[in-house]
Amino acid sequence: MRSSLYGKDLLSLADLSSEQLTELLDTALRIKRDTKAGRVSAPLSGKSVAIIMQKASIRTRVSFEVATARLGAHPVVMTGQNGAFSRGEPVNDTARVLDGYVDCIVLRTYADSLIEELAHHARVPVVNALTDKFHPCQGLADLLTVRERFGSFAGLKLVYIGDGSNNMAHTYLQAGALVGMDVAIATPDDYRPDADILAAAHVIASGTGAHLTVTSDVYEAAEAADVIVTDTFTSMGQEDEHDLRLNIFKAYRVDDSLMERASARAIFMHCLPAHRGEEVTSEVIDGPQSVIYAQAENRVHAQQALLSLLLNERNE
């Protein structure tokens, strides 16, 4: 039976219902088990996926290429500023041309306006592989990691520490709201999440029971947390602000004293690349509570599930 996700775009996790997100995670878990057991199928044989990376990437590019190939489809990778949407061609023209070549477009870019315009014009599914506001594919992998570790999201509390205005903070608010998991964002007052995104997440959370909070008190936020997660203080494009941002966020570094506030069963996650000594200490990220490598591996399983549900008419 065809999934309700068939033919859809994924620009942020808010494009999913709670039921669709559960279906996606169930599919990812099944695909991961099958892959580990050597059970291979190619449900997307004969299809092609355009993977456009306007920002540098290791995990996103490799995981999407591998996910596409494992499904039997052909990945068409375009990287750098000259790979696509260059030479002044209107987005409409690029979208309609790619429509004739590929069955899905994956885009990692800067402003959300570009991927929104692309999705408006393209007739094939468009997937956000990172924009300034959202990183839904990383969110899927992180939810998969949490579910593997705890079995469900009921009663869990995820705490994100760092820049509350970045794409991962926004994605965790949407993720928690959809699965009914409490989420706390610990961030300086000047770096709170986008007000519209936070308000929309609260609307979703009202239907699932998730409790969403934003605070500048990092120790209060970490109290009894089941998941502590952070991200680099200086994202791509912010390199000139590196020293300034280190000073602003110095009280938000994840260290042993902060992890001691969390639950005894708490895990630490980071979407990588990490800067040891800046947003997290080596003792934490390389310690026994860290699951960063399992989290990174889950990118490929989650994206394989996503592409399968978007493109496979028979939901295999």
- Each residue's pLDDT tens digit, 190-207: 999 999 999 999 999 999
Exactly one of 61, 70, 245, 299 is catalytic; name it. 299
Look up 104 and say whether it is catalytic. no
Lowest mean per-residue pLDDT among 78-87, 90-99, 108-117, 305-314: 78-87
By percentage, how much of the chain surpasses pLDDT 70? 99
Above 80 in pLDDT, residue 314?
no
Exactly one of 231, 253, 270, 304 is catalytic; name it. 231
Tell me the pLDDT tens digit for each residue of 145-189. 999 999 999 999 999 999 999 999 999 999 999 999 999 999 999
CA 233 to CA 242: how far, in whole Å? 8
Above 90 in pLDDT, residue 316?
no
Encoded tokens for 251: 């009280």
Contacts of the segment 137-140: beta carbons below 8 A, 24+ positions apart: 137/10, 137/60, 137/299, 137/302, 137/303, 137/306, 138/168, 138/171, 138/271, 138/299, 139/13, 139/168, 139/171, 139/172, 139/174, 139/175, 140/13, 140/24, 140/25, 140/28, 140/302, 140/303, 140/305, 140/306
Exactly one of 20, 54, 138, 303 is catalytic; name it. 138
Model confidence at 89, pLDDT cuts 50, 70, 90, reads confident
Look up 271 and say whether it is catalytic. yes
Look up 231 and say whether it is catalytic. yes
Above 90 in pLDDT, residue 276?
yes
**221 phi and psi angles, rounded to 5 deg:** -65, -40
Exactly one of 108, 245, 270, 301 is catalytic; name it. 108
CA 114 to CA 255: how far, in whole Å? 37
Encoded tokens for 297: 């591996």
Q: According to the model, what pLDDT value does residue 7 have?
A: 97
Q: According to the model, what pLDDT value does residue 3 have?
A: 93
Above 90 in pLDDT, residue 13?
yes
Exactly one of 170, 271, 301, 303 is catalytic; name it. 271
Model confidence at 88, pLDDT cuts 50, 70, 90, reads confident
Tell me the pLDDT tens digit for each residue of 208-225. 999 999 999 999 999 999
Other CB atoms within 10 A of residue 254 CB: 25
Exactly one of 59, 70, 135, 253 is catalytic; name it. 135
Look up 314 and say whether it is catalytic. no
Tell me the pLDDT tens digit for each residue of 229-272. 999 998 877 888 899 999 999 999 999 999 999 999 999 999 99
| pTM of structure | 0.96
Report CA dihedral (253, 170, 140, 85) to the nearest 10 degrees. -110
CA 143 to CA 61: how far, in whole Å? 20
Above 80 in pLDDT, residue 83?
no
CA 130 to CA 235: how far, in whole Å? 12
Q: According to the model, what pLDDT value does residue 287 have?
A: 98
Supply the mean pLDDT for the chain. 95
Lowest mean per-residue pLDDT among 83-87, 270-274, 275-279, 280-284: 83-87
CA 127 to CA 108: how far, in whole Å? 9
CA distances from 188 to 3, 44, 120, 202 (A): 41, 45, 35, 20
